[in-house]
Amino acid sequence: MEVKWNKKYNTIAIYALLVFFSSIVFYLIASQVNVFKLQVFSYLSVFTPIIIGFVFAYLFNFILEFYEKRLLHKINKSRTKRIIGVILTYLTVLFIVFLFLKFIFPQLLESLIGLVNEIPNYVKDVSIKVAYFADKLEIDPNYNEIIFEKWNEFVTFIIQFATDLIPKIGNMTKSIVSSIWNIVLGMIVSIYLLMDKERFLALNKKITYGVLPIKGADRAIELVHRGDNIFGKFLSGKILDSIIVGILMFIILFIFKMPYAHLVAFIVGLTNIIPFFGP
């Protein structure tokens, strides 16, 4: 007996099976989300140096392009120009890191410790002001009690936050130092990526054309180039803008002898990088 297959119902059946199996997979992941999370993090930890290398290569590529286009454009041999450019790029990065650790980081740490030590005095002064205005405005005793109860809760939270801040920063610094090997491996990976970036880009282009149809591959490559161009210009401009804002903030605070000038200027410059959120 010959079976007559109907393409319409075959398609419906295939989609139904895909939805059914996807639902099972989703249920298994949702029911064992902690185990799944641990597995994902364990796999990602293996690729951490590679991920760090890609991030470093993308960020340092702006410096490399600057050197190749502005300073090394007279060198005809592309390989020689690339080697010199990569060396200058990483010397620049190491010099920036050295300046940060030598001059900025100690000042930040000193300002942060000073601020944490002064928080109880600030809280005491503000508590006195709150009590003064509560008596002066003659607030109803019931509302007054609620205000002071909420204020005491807020004070407890601030003091606890200040107490835990230094240990948290220490643990974060410790985790960064403990992952220094991944950072070193990431730097090595980024060097390889920058040295042969044209070859890697060509390989990705071949893979794209091998996986997608020609029209879809052209569109995907166009979108990637456009996104890289827009995001790269935005990121480089935003970093330059944030450095200028941070320096101006430090100069103004220093002229007016405001406390914690280094810390405030650093926070202002750092948060200025984040879109729609900052100083």
Distance CA 73, CA 19 (A): 56
Contact status, residue 85 vs residue 64, Cβ threshold 8 Å = yes
Which helix (H) or strand (E) segment is 14 a member of?
helix 7-31
Crossing angle for the helix pair 197-211 and 180-195, to the nearest 10 degrees: 80
Contact status, residue 144 vs residue 105, Cβ threshold 8 Å = no
Report the pLDDT value the prediction gives residue 113, as an integer from 0 to 100: 80
Report the pLDDT value the prediction gives residue 45, as an integer from 0 to 100: 74
Neighbours of 200 (CB within 10 A): 14
Residue pLDDT, tens place only, 150-189: 777 877 787 777 777 667 777 777 676 667 888 888 899 9
At CB < 8 A and 24+ separation, what contacts does 147-152 make? Answer: 151/127
For residues 107-135, b (16+ Cβ closer than 10 Å) or e, as one string? bbeebbeebbeebeeebeeeeeeeeeeee
Structure-model confidence comparison of residues 194 and 163, the more confident one: 194
Distance CA 186, CA 51 (A): 7
What predicted TM-score, i.e. pTM, was given to this entire model? 0.70
Residue pLDDT, tens place only, 47-58: 888 888 999 999
Distance CA 8, CA 4 (A): 12
Residue pLDDT, tens place only, 21-41: 788 777 766 676 676 667 767
Contact status, residue 105 vs residue 122, Cβ threshold 8 Å = no
* pLDDT at residue 86 tops 90: yes
* pLDDT at residue 7 tops 50: yes
